[in-house]
Amino acid sequence: MRTKSTNILPALFTYGFVGLMAFLSVFPFIWMVLGATNASIDIIKGKMLPGEALATNVANFFTLVNVPLVFWNSAKVTILATVLTLAVSSLAGYGFEIFRSRQRERLYSAMLLTLMIPFAALMIPLFIMMGKAGLINTHIAVVLPTIGSAFVVFYFRQSTKAFPSELRDAAKVDGLKEWQIFLYIYVPVMRSTYAAAFIIVFMTAWNNYLWPLIVLQSNETKTITLVISSLASAYYPDYGVVMVGTILATLPTLAVFFFMQRQFVQGMLGSVK
Amino acid sequence: MDKLVRTHLPRIAGLAFAGASLLAVSAAQAKEITIWCWDPNFNVAIMKEAGARYTKTHPDVTFNVVDFAKADVEQKLQTGLASGTADALPDIVLIEDYGAQKYLQSFPGAFAPLSGTVDYSGFAPYKVEVMTLDGQVYGMPFDSGVTGLYYRKDYLDQAGFKPEDMQNITWDRFIEIGQEVEAKTGKKMMGLDPNDAGLVRIMMQSAGQWYFDKEGKPNITGNAALKASLETIGKIMSANIYKPANGWSDWVGTFTSGDVASVVTGVWITGTVKAQPDQAGKWGVAPIPALSIEGATHASNLGGSSWYVLESSEEKAEAIDFLNEIYGQDIDFYQTILQDRGAVGSLLAARGGAAYEEADAFFGGEKVWQNFSDLLAKVPSVNYGIFTNEADLAVTAQLPALTQGTPVDEVLQAIDAEIAGQIQ
């Protein structure tokens, strides 16, 4: 015997669960936005309604922080890291998949193993290297270690498996050199893979914290993550100002994600149709 | 001649130019002192003020105060020292007192000893003890966390207590007063965060003991002060005169919202207490209650940090001279940072200045700063050792057991075992 209620119950459960999860993930964001409109003392007291302190908080943030400089630093590091990582790691992923040999497979496994090493263990050797190279307190030092990303190489190699070898063969017949095949055939075909990787690399670079913290030494080179950390660790942090900073710091990643959402999903589903 | 000039002129000019720019660079760089510290509104602002004062009399020395989060300063310092990359370190760095011995002992020779230059007899003795290793004193004592009992005069008055009744009391008396206050006003006596061992540290140091003895060995099971502190916290909990708080902000909220009748903590809280204009005139300050054991006092400390000069610094001499001239001698500087930032330094002579003499209207005209300054000299010296943070975690982990009525001796055993496990 089937009644209506037996059908509704699972649906109710599903939506209840999904609703709860959605709330849990959106709540911190809402709290951040509400916090930006309240004075610090109200935030501590747990006020959950919009307040009138937004203008003050924004003004305070702009007086405390050299906003254009900090954002320029973050943008510089992020764009450099993203472009270079995509260029180097996609080439590597392509190479590993197209030109296979036993030695290369070993190299590939060794490279994947580096994913297992926590960054904290690499930090001091890396720091010594940068010190010897005279790169401490430069943005180059922030970018360099991120370029050869084992994860992105892995991601490109997996995606390259779906790259039709016929395309490459046809291009060869037409007389294209290897670099031309990569540049004129592979890159356009793998557009959505690049888009997805772009979002991942962009976000990691923009939110990168530990390494920039270690190598950057002066107020003039600091990125936005370091500035927010410093604001938030005061003995009496002005949480309203911190929230304004957090919102501003979230905007670029948010924009990138919204603009590239469609390509991101395609890239995750498989790049070649 | 003509030819000579033509062929050599560019080279000579180039040389002269290079020499000039080399000079310019060294002149500009040789005298810039780089400082790492945290909190833009407190340490950073104070150091900028100090720098500006020094630059006035020494125009060739400039300052670059870089602000990072406290944990970030520690992380960077640790990495810089461990990697041996000296040019990656600042000239002066701020270190929290609880962590000072860890750096001094882990990186021998990394910090410049200042004994001989700085007259340490002018500072609160307990601050100097913190930075002493093998007879050498490193660092310039900075802000103090000398503790006080802040209480709401209005609530206590309703419960029938006068400010005199709050002076020099014991913790047992404090609990009695708390019960009376709750009966008469419905307000709890204090806010208490069960995950913060700050109050344990205050009580323990007030009786001249610490988690570690003078040699740095764990001092737990035989520590009368720690035992009495835990017993007292147990009594506060069973008397239920506290409002539970979850985390720092929540704890601050217990008194800014007017929910509790008193606060026992470091002097640096004064700014937060005074940030509530509607509570003006309602607060009073007394010395903290004492434990009922031998050696108990009404003076203690919570937090505080000090400045250290890196031995590898190229501007070491200037950095030391700067600290000594401003932090070691400038009474007027201490008045300014007290007025502007609410910072109580550790230089005892600073109490003679105008800002310290002033009666504070917020506290009903009490000479609050003078009182704190009196207490400052009386804070018992202890050895914070190198594992204070680890010991703190062990104590915090055992506080719930205390609430559930586990005998204090068993709790001490558990803390001892945990510390032994942590510091191996």
- Token pair, residue A199, equals 């979002």
pLDDT value at position A273?
A: 47
Q: Which of B42, B68, B250 lies at the smallest CB-CB distance from A226?
A: B68
Token pair of A213, please? 């913290």
Q: Which residue has the higher pLDDT, A42 or B230?
A: B230
Contact B39 A233 (CB under 8 A): yes
**Which amino acid is located at B114 in the chain?**
L
Reported as a pLDDT band with limits 50, 70 and 90, residue B214 is confident
Of B32-36, B125-129, B386-390, minimum mean pLDDT range: B386-390
- In chain B, residues 235-254 whose CB comes closer than 8 Å to chain A: 249-250, 252-253
Of A43, A45, A131, the CB nearest to B85: A131
pLDDT recorded at residue A74: 96
B124 pLDDT above the threshold of 80 = yes
CA distances from B298 to A214, A241, B169, B326 (A): 42, 38, 8, 30
What confidence tier does A155 reach under pLDDT thresholds 50, 70, 90? very high
Q: Give the pLDDT confidence of A161-201 residue by residue, as tens digits.
A: 989 889 999 999 999 999 999 999 999 989 889 998 999 99
Tell me the average pLDDT of chain A.
89
Euclidean distance between CA atoms B241 and B254, whole angstroms: 13
* C-alpha closest to that of A39 among A55, A19, A28: A55
Distance of CA B348 to the CA centre of its chain: 15
Q: Is A234 in Cβ contact with B40 (below 8 Å)?
A: yes
Q: Number of residue pairs across A and B with CB atoms under 8 Å? A: 84
Is A131 part of the contact surface with chain B (CB cutoff 8 Å)? yes
Q: Is A122 on the interface with B (CB under 8 A)?
A: no
Which band of pLDDT confidence, cut at 50, 70 and 90, is reported for residue B274?
confident
Structure tokens at A193: 């893979």
Distance from CA of B333 to the nearest CA of A (A): 21
Q: What percent of chain B clears pLDDT 70, i.e. is strictly above it?
A: 93
Task: Tell me: pLDDT of A105 over 70.
Answer: yes
Distance CA A111, CA A149 (A): 9
User: How many DSSP H helices and E strands does chain A contain?
Assistant: 15, 0
Residue pLDDT, tens place only, B360-411: 889 988 889 999 999 999 999 999 988 888 898 899 888 888 878 889 999 9
Asked if A229's CB is within 8 angstroms of B69's CB, the reply is yes
Q: Is A225 helix (H, G, I), strand (E, B) or coil?
A: helix
- Is pLDDT of B136 > 70? yes
Q: B40 and A230 in contact by Cβ < 8 A? A: yes
Average pLDDT over residues A157-162: 91
- Cα–Cα dist B189/B174, whole Å: 9
| Mean pLDDT within B311-331 | 94
On chain B, the residues whose CB falls within 8 A of the CB of A131 are: 83, 85, 87-88
Q: Report the gap between the CA of B65 and the closest CA in chain A (Å).
A: 8
**For A5-14, B66-75, B261-270, which range has the lowest pLDDT when averaged over its residues?**
A5-14
| pLDDT value, residue B206 | 96
Query: Tens digit of pLDDT for each residue in A111-134?
Result: 999 999 998 888 889 999 999 999
Domains and CATH numbers, chain B: 31-144+304-357 (3.40.190.10), 146-301+361-422 (3.40.190.10)
Query: Does the structure show a pLDDT above 70 at B17?
Result: no
Q: What percentage of chain B carries pLDDT values higher than 90?
A: 67
Pick from A96-105, B93-102, B358-367: least confident: B358-367
* Mean pLDDT of chain B, nearest integer: 88
CB contact under 8 A, A235 and B268: yes
- For residue range B172-208, list pLDDT tens digits in order: 999 999 999 999 999 999 999 988 899 999 999 999 9
A-chain residues near B69 (CB < 8 A)? 229-230, 232-233
- State the average pLDDT over residues A242-264: 89
Give the pLDDT of residue A92. 94
| DSSP annotation of A182 | I
Strands B140-152 and B283-286 come out as: antiparallel
Residues 53 through 82 of chain A touching chain B, CB cutoff 8 Å: 64
pLDDT at site B247: 83
- Band (pLDDT 50/70/90 cuts) for residue A6 is low
Instruction: Express each pLDDT in A25-74 by its tens digit.
Output: 999 999 999 999 998 878 877 778 888 889 999 999 999 899 999 999 99
Query: Is the predicted pLDDT of residue A268 greater than 60, yes or no?
Result: yes
pLDDT of B30 higher than 70: no
Q: Which residue of B has its CA nearest to A136?
A: B88
Does residue B77 sit at the A interface (CB-CB below 8 Å)?
Answer: no
Q: What is the pLDDT of residue B423?
A: 77
- What residues contact A54, with CB distance under 8 A and at least 6 apart? A36, A37, A244
Whether B19 shows a pLDDT value over 50: the answer reads: no
What integer pLDDT is reported at residue A263 of this predicted model? 78
Ramachandran quadrant class, B94 (left: phi over 0; alpha: psi -120 to 50; beta: rest)? beta
Entry field: residues in chain A = 273
Closest residue of chain A to B68, computed from CA coordinates: A230
Whether B295 has a pLDDT exceeding 50, the answer reads: yes
Question: Is pLDDT of A146 > 60?
Answer: yes
pLDDT band of A237, cuts 50, 70, 90: confident
Domain A64-269, second-level architecture: Orthogonal Bundle (1.10)
